[in-house]
C-alpha cells in the first residue's frame, strides 16, 4: 500500500511537470488536457478515503502554488478577466470534493465496470472547472459566463476524460508490480468446474 501510494505521488509530480509542456488547443476554445487532475481522479478511485484526502491536499496545494507563482489571478490564456484575490487553498477543497465523487463509484469500479469511472472523470472535471469559474466570478463581484468559456470547460472535460483509460492502465500495472490489490473482479476468469462422472 505504501509503495503504491508513493508511486501515485511520483505520478502526480511527473504530471505537474508535464502539464507545463502541454499546450492549449487554440482551435478548440483553448481547451487543454488537465493531467494532474486526471491522475488524481483515476488514483482516487483505487485507494481509500484517507489516502485520497492526502492526495487531494497535495494536488490542491501544488496546483495553487503553481498559480501563486504565475500571473496574478491565474493564467491570462485561461482567464480573460483575472481575479486578483483568489485565496490560496481553494483547490484543496475542490480536489477533496471531486475525490469523494470518485469514491462514490468505487464499488462499481471494483466489480470491473471501469467505464463508469472513465465517464465520471469527465463529469468530475466539468464540476471542478465550473466551481472554479464560479469562485472567480464571486471574487470579482459580478457574474459573467461567456459561451466560449462553457465550450472551453466542456471540451477540456471531454479531452481529459479520453485519456483516463491510459492512466487507469498505468495504475493497474503499478498495483500489480507492488502487489497492491485492486479488486478488479469483472475481468477475472472464473475457475472451470470439473465434470464428475456419476
Closest CA to 106 of 95, 98, 114: 114
Q: How far apart are CA 41 and CA 45, in angstroms?
A: 7
Higher pLDDT, 19 or 115: 19
163 occurs within a structural domain: yes
C-alpha distances (whole Å) from 130 to each of 13, 62, 68, 125, 157 are 25, 20, 20, 8, 11
pLDDT for the residue 198: 47
Tens of pLDDT, residue by residue over 45-92, are 999 999 999 999 999 999 888 766 555 545 555 445 454 556 678 889
194 occurs within a structural domain: no
The three cell numbers locating residue 127: 464540476
Q: How far apart are CA 127 and CA 124, in angstroms?
A: 5
Tens of pLDDT, residue by residue over 156-166, are 999 999 999 99
Which pLDDT band, with edges at 50, 70 and 90, does 188 fall under?
very low
Tens of pLDDT, residue by residue over 84-133, are 556 678 889 999 999 999 998 888 777 777 788 899 999 999 999 999 88
For 111-136, the DSSP string reads: TT-HHHHHHHHHHHHHHHHHHHHHHH
pLDDT for the residue 7: 94
Average pLDDT, the chain: 82
Place of cell 483515476: 42
192 occurs within a structural domain: no
177 occurs within a structural domain: yes
pLDDT for the residue 121: 93
**What mean pLDDT is predicted for residues 164-193?**
74
pLDDT for the residue 70: 52
* Number of domains comprising the chain: 1
Sign of CA dihedral 43, 47, 48, 50: negative
pLDDT for the residue 136: 81
15 occurs within a structural domain: yes
99 occurs within a structural domain: yes
195 occurs within a structural domain: no
pTM of the entire structure?
0.81
For the chain, the DSSP string reads: -HHHHHHHHHHHHHHHHHHTT---BGGGTTB---HHHHHHHHHHTTS-HHHHHHHHHHHHHHHHHHHHHSSTTS-TTT-SS--TTPPTTHHHHHHHHHHHHHHHTHHHHHTT-HHHHHHHHHHHHHHHHHHHHHHHHHHHTS----HHHHHHHHHHHHHHHHTHHHHHHHHHHHHHHTT-----GGGSPPPPPPP---
198 occurs within a structural domain: no
Q: Dihedral, CA atoms, 152, 154, 156, 157, nearest 10 degrees?
A: 160
pLDDT for the residue 139: 76
pLDDT for the residue 141: 75
Residue 159 sits in a domain whose CATH number is 1.10.1760
pLDDT for the residue 86: 60
Would you say residue 137 has pLDDT above 90? no
Domain that holds residue 31: 2-187
Amino acid at each position: 500500500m505504501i509503495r503504491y501510494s508513493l508511486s501515485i505521488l511520483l505520478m502526480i509530480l511527473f504530471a505537474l511537470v508535464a502539464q507545463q509542456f502541454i499546450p492549449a488547443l487554440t482551435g478548440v476554445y483553448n481547451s487543454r488536457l488537465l493531467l494532474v487532475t486526471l491522475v488524481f481522479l483515476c488514483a482516487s478511485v483505487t485507494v481509500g478515503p484517507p489516502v485520497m484526502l492526502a492526495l487531494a491536499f497535495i494536488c490542491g496545494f501544488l496546483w495553487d502554488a503553481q498559480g501563486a507563482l504565475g500571473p496574478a489571478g491565474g493564467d491570462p490564456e485561461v482567464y480573460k478577466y483575472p481575479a486578483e484575490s483568489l485565496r490560496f487553498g481553494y483547490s484543496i477543497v475542490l480536489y477533496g470534493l471531486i475525490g469523494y465523487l470518485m469514491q462514490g463509484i468505487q464499488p462499481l469500479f471494483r466489480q470491473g465496470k471501469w467505464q463508469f469511472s472513465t465517464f465520471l472523470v469527465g463529469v468530475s472535471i466539468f464540476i471542478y472547472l465550473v466551481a472554479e469559474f464560479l469562485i472567480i466570478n464571486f471574487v470579482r463581484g459580478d457574474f459573467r459566463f461567456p459561451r466560449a468559456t462553457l465550450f472551453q470547460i466542456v471540451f477540456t472535460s471531454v479531452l481529459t476524460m479520453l485519456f483516463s483509460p491510459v492512466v487507469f492502465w498505468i495504475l493497474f500495472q503499478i498495483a500489480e508490480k507492488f502487489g497492491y490489490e485492486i479488486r478488479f473482479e469483472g475481468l477475472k476468469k472464473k475457475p472451470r468446474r470439473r465434470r464428475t462422472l456419476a
